[in-house]
Amino acid sequence: MSDSIAKPQAAILALSALSLAGSMLFLLRNPPPTPFADRLSKLDPKETSIDNDFYDDYFESSAEESNGDGDDGGVVDASAEKEEEHPLQLVNYGRIPYFLRTWTAQSPLCAQVKADVETMGGATTRTVLPASFKALDVGCGGGIAAEVVARAGAQVTGVDLSAGAIACAKRRAKARGLSIEYVVGDALDLPVPSETYDGVLCSDTLEHLFDLDAALKEMARVLKPGGILVLDTINRTRVSWYALVLIAQDTLGYLPHGAHDWRLFITPDELSTSLQRAGLEACPESAVRGMRPGMRAPHIILARTWHYATSKQGSASFLDCFIGRWTETTFTAGSYLAWARKPL
């Protein structure tokens, strides 16, 4: 091998080794924090680093960016194609099929419904739930998940503590011609009657709560006997610490700073215990599924990377160049999906 070839290869190997060593040193210097002694106890918000008030500020700024036609800045783009590329819509592809599949398979009201819901992630007009199916979305945010459930045929109510989020969700529903009832309310004291809903949906919410047992008891209260709770949350593991909190949130800013406190993440065992305390029957372990982001197609990565490089966007936008639709997986060390039943 000539020196003209060997020298560049040696330089590349040296740079790769230095990069790997630097990454390992960075991880070793930033280990996960000490977990709470009991995640299922009622926690003092002052002892956490999470900023749940961020959502009010976020949706208020989105309202200011709204052009009056349902376009709410970062929450939704004006065209359906652009909206399906929004990070929250991309996550829908991993969780919504699981939610609808579980409801159609487990809910007494859906016993006769047979439907393929594998592609129901973003906008869809397919009806897979009975018109009489009542669903409650707890922690609905701007209505990203509630809208898909409504398009699937359900009568949907969304509850969120953030008045800004509810205002945004109402604007979105109106712009899309969807009949969804949105209410400002606390997950610990849901402003809805008992035994009202065939299904309850709780997505990206449990890991923000300081009293998990109380919240799940409220969800059990509003479910009809035989009703099904479907949810996704984040497992408290080294994987979720390094990938989601340390890198995606605190380093790259892909997630807002303070949006998550790793100590509030919930292991599947803790979730199962809390569900049982709430009087719900947790799904079998085999029904717990993971979620992971997919990669965009190569030509989209190239196009988005070029746009990122030429538009001087922040580091958060860099990950958008690569992250595509989420999908189900057996790997549950990050985000995971589960369900529970209220006994008849």
How much is the mean pLDDT over the chain?
Answer: 84
- Encode pLDDT of 166-207 as tens digits: 999 999 999 999 999 999 999 999 999 999 999 999 999 999
The 10 Å Cβ neighbour count of residue 256 is 14
Give the predicted TM-score (pTM) of the model: 0.85
* CATH match of 54-294+330-341 with 3.10.440.10: no
Confidence label for 313 from pLDDT (cuts 50, 70 and 90): low
Is there a contact between 214 and 314 (Cβ–Cβ < 8 Å)? no
Residues 256, 259, 262, 266, CA torsion sign: negative
Spatial distance between the Cα atoms of 209 and 231, rounded to a whole number of angstroms: 14
The string of pLDDT tens digits covering residues 75-132 is 443 334 444 566 778 899 999 999 999 999 999 888 655 554 555 555 454 668 999 9
Burial of 255 (0-12, 13-18, 19+ CB in 10 A): middle
| Residue 80 pLDDT | 42
List of residues 6+ apart from 262 with CB closer than 8 A: 32, 33, 236, 240, 241, 244, 245
**Per-residue confidence (pLDDT) for residue 125, from 0 to 100:** 47
| CA-wise closest residue to 1 among 9, 13, 14, 11 | 9
pLDDT digits (tens, 9 = 90+) for 29-56: 889 999 999 999 999 999 999 988 877 7
